[in-house]
A and B are shown apart, each in its own frame.
Chain A
Amino acid sequence: MKSLKNHLSLVVALLSILFSLQTFIIVDRSINAYKDNLANNYSIVAVSQKTLNANIIINQHKLIKKIVLLSPDKVIKKLNHGISKKNIDLLKLSLPKFYKLVLVYYPSPSEVNNLTKALLRDTSVIKVETFSKSHDTTYKLLLLFKTVISVLAFSVGIVTILLISKELKIWQFKHTERMNIMGLFGAPTWLSSAVLFRLAFVDALIASAFAFVIFSYIASSVWVEEQLSNIGITVIVFDPILDFGVMLGLALLLSTLLATLIVISHKEEV
């Protein structure tokens, strides 16, 4: 019971930090996945009087992933009543070429503007349609989400500092006396603080293990999967190797930092 109490305070503090961090990672991944989704569904249409060389265009504009020539058949089909085949062939030849430009990622409005200007520099390109109104609204919404996430990350950072400083005071109170007594009998700093570092290490392991179990459960939850598929994205909620590594690393870093601060601030009682 006593041993459990010794561990509980730091484990709870670390666990809340790890939980906030992983939540932030999941939300960030979801936004990025949504952004990729948008990029796949968004494209620009360029109208050219001449056939465009896809390789040259892609090499010139890094934002363009693929160029697809749009067939004019659908438009012509609507007009072909009472028009001879010869005239339709002539019409086909005189019509400009329509290209769908698939982009590498979902660009910002200024990137879209720059691309439009760059494409129009080619004299054969007569029109570039960016569907800017709907694009700008979606981009602003995405930007808002990003800002909210950044504020959340900042808040988590502040809470982390507060939790750690609170824990620092508790630990100082709990461990200073023992360190002092050990020092009076000639214990070197590494020995008198060994218990502290061992406790920090064990607590970091316990907190990471708890976080591992919680997020493994969340990642396997059907409900979470449903929510993500509802917005058309697939996200790795918890990577048992990478995410656990980050969690363990952070927990070890914070607890070791805490122990080090106590050792540094420790002064022998006179």
Chain B
Amino acid sequence: MDKVIVANNLSLSYSKDETIINKVSFSIDSGSFIFITGASGSGKSTLLKSLYGALKPQEGSLVVAGVELNGVTRSKLNLLRKHTGIVFQDYKLVKEWTIEKNIMLPLIISGYDKTVQKTQVDTLLKHVRLTHQAGKYPKELSGGEQQRVAMARALSHNPVLILADEPTGNLDDYSSQLIWNLLEGANTDLKSTVIVVTHHIPESMGVDFKHFHIEYGSIHEVA
């Protein structure tokens, strides 16, 4: 099976004094569903940031979808991000844009035709049950609704890799279930590789998954 992520002796840190992830090596198969768990401050989100190039490796190598992120050029990084769907803990929706335009963002960046953009957004709005909110702005929506918008945006361009940072962190059961269904759907229907950083793995998952745990700067697979 193809590897979508390969890390070798990877170290990550925000400053020279403190290493968050220390010389870890792991790989992730293309099309797999991965959960990454760990205590607060263990480095889960840090590792996720490194996967979309927001944090450069301090040491070692990290290859994501064939792109070596150590010393990556801006254009290669943009290309990688165009094929990645990211769900952020704090949603990161553009405040001055409507929900519809927020979901459209990856499609605009990838240069899709306007008709395709509209069709895709309409479909996703239906999936996240927010069709009636399309013209509203993020601040007019609840946290759960905003997270569903962020999820729709992450899926809009059919990405090969989906990275989600605590996507159901503060959500009610209804919104959480919608999010898990969408992530499972992307994994099974679109064959996207899904990596979810979370504190809690849902009890029933409709797909096979792997579980990695981060502790004291190391990562290991939980059987």
Which of B22-30, B75-83, B196-204, B211-219 lies at the interface with chain A?
B75-83
* A residues in contact with B84, CB < 8 Å: 186
* B residues in contact with A184, CB < 8 Å: 52, 54, 81, 86, 92
Kindly identify which residue among A189, A191, A270 contacts B49, using a CB–CB cutoff of 8 Å: A270
Convert A183-203 into 0s and 1s, putting 1 for each residue whose CB lies closer than 8 angstroms to a CB of B.
111111101000000000000
Q: Across the interface, do B92 and A181 meet the contact criterion of CB distance under 8 Å?
A: yes
Kindly identify which residue among A2, A191, A268, A270 contacts B96, using a CB–CB cutoff of 8 Å: A2
- Whether A177 sits at the interface, judged by CB under 8 Å, is yes
Interface residue count for B (Cβ, 8 Å)? 28
Q: Across the interface, do A188 and B78 meet the contact criterion of CB distance under 8 Å?
A: yes
Given contacts A191-B109, A270-B14, contact A186 B79 (CB under 8 A): yes
CA distance A94 to B173 in the complex (A): 120
Kindly identify which residue among B55, B81, B97 contacts A185, using a CB–CB cutoff of 8 Å: B81
* B residues in contact with A270, CB < 8 Å: 14, 49, 54-55
- Counting chain A CB atoms within 10 Å of each CB, the highest count among B75, B77, B94, B106 belongs to B94
CA distance A2 to B81 in the complex (A): 31
Chain B residue with Cβ nearest A181: B92
- Whether A178 sits at the interface, judged by CB under 8 Å, is yes
- Whether B136 sits at the interface, judged by CB under 8 Å, is no
Chain A residue with Cβ nearest B105: A185
* Smallest CB separation, A7 vs chain B (Å): 13
Chain A residue with Cβ nearest B52: A184
CA distance A220 to B95 in the complex (A): 45
Q: Across the interface, do B96 and A185 meet the contact criterion of CB distance under 8 Å?
A: no
Q: Across the interface, do B52 and A187 meet the contact criterion of CB distance under 8 Å?
A: no
Q: Other than A2-B96, A184-B92, give 19 A-B pairs with Cβ distance below 8 A.
A: A6-B96, A178-B94, A178-B97, A180-B92, A181-B93, A181-B94, A181-B105, A182-B105, A184-B54, A184-B86, A185-B82, A185-B106, A186-B81, A186-B83, A186-B109, A188-B75, A191-B108, A268-B54, A270-B14
Give the 6 A-B residue pairs with the shortest CB-CB distance, closest first.
Answer: A186-B81, A186-B82, A186-B78, A187-B109, A178-B94, A185-B106
